[in-house]
Structure 1
Amino acid sequence: MRTSARGNALRWAAAYASSVTGDSVFFLALSWTAARAGGPEAVGIVTAAGALPRAVLLLGGGVLADRLGAHRVAIGMDMSRGVLVLAAAAIMTITAPQLWLLVPLAFVFGVLDALYLPAVSALPALITTPDGLDRIQGLRGLALRAGNLAGPLVGGIALAHNGEAAAFGGAGALFLVSLALLLVVRTHPRVVTRPERSHWRDLRAGVRYLRGHRVLAPLTLVIGISELSFAGPLVIGVVLLVEQRGWGPTGMGWIVGGFAAGGGLAALALAAGLRPPRPGLVMPALLTAGGIAIIGMVCVADLVTVTALAAAVGAVVGVASTLAATLGQAHCDPAYLGRTASVLALATVGLTPLLYPLTGAAAAALGVTAVFVGCGTLVLTAAFTAFSSAALRGAELDHEESSR
């Protein structure tokens, strides 16, 4: 990657990290403020108010990114989110936050997030050449983990020492930092498509394109199954496992830290230039290892081994997801990048909150072991799906889909 291209990629990664950190601060502050305003029921109402429009409008956000250009949409949504959250923070300085403020805030933020996610996800393919996609996706993984680590820390400090208004103000400022960085990111001029049809017809065209693509169709299925499978054990299953084993908060910290360390090292290696040969074959092999490791976490009794398995899961998930994202963008027609990203975002972000109560219910009915075994089996199913597609097995990262 040339020096100028590397600088462009680093600016995008910094913008993404700032946005992810802002997201983490915002959602922490929103949940905390809702709990203080109305207890657990208020938290559920506010969370649903934000999650519903995000899930419903994600596909439409992909259409908008392809029509107007992903860069332009990402800039507009960063600005809108920053202004919205700063306005809410200003209101909180003069009145105590109540549901009448928090519910509309969560709803509008969910709408803006649905338009932002496909656009920012499509940007890596638009700011680098095909041979640099793997590195920039590695940078994205680092930015995601850094933001998810820094966000709760920043938000917690702001809430503890300065209150809700300061936390929301910090989130809004982080969105504006992301905006400032995106403004100096350069994109390829070929990315904006002409809006020759209605939004609905463009959406249907995107679904047809994705469904008929020899690589993207099975790849989308693999990503959806694997990402949703990992979400259950990571977020809910680990908490229940630690409680069952009596390891307490320290054990929880070790296991979650193992996930984070493995994923961070994988992202760092890819950002530094690690490029596995035959990625279409390596990806399902890594998923196979990840599925086995998830099942193994409930088959061993000591915390050290579980932590090591968690680190292995984090590493293989990090590499496999980065390879999958890179393959997807390398093989996607630029005219459909936003719509393809929106489908993947729906599977990995939009539907993930629905898994939390399902995982909890499954654990209550069948036990924690069954949850981990079930999720590991689903990951193995995703690997089998990838192995079953000859086109996906033979997919390479240096493929560039020409615009039609």
Structure 2
Amino acid sequence: MTTATSAGAARRTALPRPYLPRPYLLWPYLLWLAGAQAGLLGDAALSFALGWAASGYGGGAAGLVLTAVTVPRTVLVLLGGAVADRFGARRVMLAGDAVMLVVTAGLALAVAGDRAAPLWLLVGAAGVTGAVDAFYLPASGSMPRRLVPADRLPRALALRQAGGQCAVLLGAPLGGLLVAGGGLAGAAAADAVSFAVVLLVLLRVRPDRDGPGPAPAAAPVGLLREAGAGVRLALGDPLLRAALLLTGAAAGALLPVVSLLGPLLARAHGWAAGTAGLVTAGQAAGVLVVAASVAWRGGLPRPGVGAAAGLCTASAGTLLLALSGGPAAAVTGSTVLGLGSGLFACHLGPLVLGGAPASHLSRVQALLTLVQSLALVLSTGLLGTAADATGAVPPALCCALATGAAGLAALAAPALRRA
């Protein structure tokens, strides 16, 4: 009896630990993701409301409000990544959500009772939002790596991509409803509620791999030096360097196609605004399909090849959109473009986040945000000027060519091809 008992115990000890079900492993991430998507939806609604309120002062005022968001976010984002890596991503996010809760609640009170918001208040709220984003985005971008095992990272990021796309799609209509029902105050109050939800979620979720970096052996290094160290690390790593270059190319050549060139193409063909909206919806639908598929079944075994294939697919969609003669072809082209964009984002994201050292997660995410922002700002201005001079078709064809060239270059890059 003793021998049998001992043998049974030995067998039980030798057996591997039972495989934990996916919900158990991922529930902290799913809880955080649900809160983050609620925050994104509230932000999208308030962004629409701010733009609508600013448009009442004219196009220049609306552009000023948008600039007030973009400039501090671009200038401070590398510093924000260094702060999140030094003090912990969760702490930075808690501080950012608390600040935005106060700002949005104060904005709602300031414009309550159908009072018109003065322009200085709109610009101030936009500036604070951009400054908080500079610290919040790198911290938030690093959270999947802190909450999810490495083998689940592609699915987790795909799920986040799908949720973010849904928030973007629903944010503007929700903002319109809130403005119609309660004005800017209603949208600001709804965003304040969303920040309160995110705060409660963050108080519940505690990443195991979050926290300040190791204490320096010598004198502490300044935050600006730490930000520079993140840039040097990313540029010195072959995989991260190639991924950042590819991200910049995709942001500059893909993002303006639907947002800028799509409406211009629709106007050139004499299509109604509803048709232009369908073109945008086709792109969003393509991204959602790919993101949902990767979240459910996982990504390709070689994510670098998947990202390159995504760019080549998006190039074909852009070409079809540029040469379309009717709404059906345009929507088909934008959908193919969305499929390629989703394939690219869902495979390159895990490469960047998984390839960054644990001590530099937020700084690499900050650099990724900076590369995307700068490429988008430069390309949008150039493409808009070119469209004024030649029409929307030649710039769209250039975008198709640039995207295809980037995809072929990614296939030729050993660091990406073998990743």
- SS of residue in 2 equivalent to 1:160: helix
Aligned-partner residue type, residue 291 of structure 2: A
Which of these residues, 72, 76, 91, is aligned with residue 57 of structure 1?
76
Q: Does 1:121 align with 2:145?
A: no
CA contact (8 A) 1:287 1:317 kept: yes
Aligned equivalents of 2:38, 2:111: Cα separation in 1: 23
Q: Does 1:8 align with 2:28?
A: yes
Deviations 1:137-196 (A, max 9, x none): 011111111111221122111111211111111122112222222222231236531463
The answer for the alignment partner of 2:59 in structure 1 is 40
Offset, 1:16: 2.1
Deviations 1:218-263 (A, max 9, x none): 1111011112211111111000011111221232122112111111
Q: Does 1:154 align with 2:178?
A: no
Q: Does 1:28 align with 2:48?
A: yes
The answer for the alignment partner of 2:391 in structure 1 is 367
Aligned equivalents of 1:268, 1:58: Cα separation in 2: 30
The answer for the alignment partner of 2:11 in structure 1 is none
Aligned-partner residue type, residue 236 of structure 1: L
Aligned-partner residue type, residue 97 of structure 1: A
Q: Does 1:86 align with 2:127?
A: no
The answer for the alignment partner of 1:99 in structure 2 is 119
Aligned equivalents of 1:43, 1:385: Cα separation in 2: 38
Aligned-partner residue type, residue 258 of structure 2: L
- SS of residue in 2 equivalent to 1:193: coil
CA contact (8 A) 2:158 2:295 kept: yes
Which of these residues, 62, 65, 86, is aligned with residue 67 of structure 1?
86
Which of these residues, 240, 263, 269, is aligned with residue 245 of structure 1?
269
Aligned-partner residue type, residue 97 of structure 2: D
The answer for the alignment partner of 2:243 in structure 1 is 219
- Residue ranges of structure 2 left out of the alignment (5+ in a row): 1-20
Aligned-partner residue type, residue 304 of structure 2: G
Aligned length: 394
Aligned equivalents of 1:34, 1:300: Cα separation in 2: 35
Q: TM-score, normalised by structure 2?
A: 0.90
Q: Does 1:186 align with 2:206?
A: yes
CA contact (8 A) 2:88 2:210 kept: no
- SS of residue in 2 equivalent to 1:163: helix
Q: Does 1:285 align with 2:309?
A: yes
Aligned-partner residue type, residue 352 of structure 1: L
Deviations 1:63-104 (A, max 9, x none): 111111112212221221121111111111265310221122
CA contact (8 A) 2:252 2:380 kept: no
Deviations 1:338-363 (A, max 9, x none): 11100111122465345434322110
CA contact (8 A) 1:34 1:99 kept: yes
Deviations 1:281-333 (A, max 9, x none): 22212211211221221223232122112111111211211110111111110
The answer for the alignment partner of 1:318 in structure 2 is 342
CA contact (8 A) 1:126 1:191 kept: no
- With 4-13 and 165-174 compared, the bigger mean Cα shift is at 4-13
Aligned equivalents of 2:49, 2:168: Cα separation in 1: 14
RMSD, aligned α-carbons: 1.7
Which of the pair has the greater relative contact order for Cα pairs under 8 Å at 6+ separation?
1
Structure of greater Rg: 2
- With 370-379 and 384-393 compared, the bigger mean Cα shift is at 384-393
The answer for the alignment partner of 1:199 in structure 2 is 223
- SS of residue in 2 equivalent to 1:371: helix
The answer for the alignment partner of 2:294 in structure 1 is 270
Aligned equivalents of 1:23, 1:161: Cα separation in 2: 17
- SS of residue in 1 equivalent to 2:387: helix
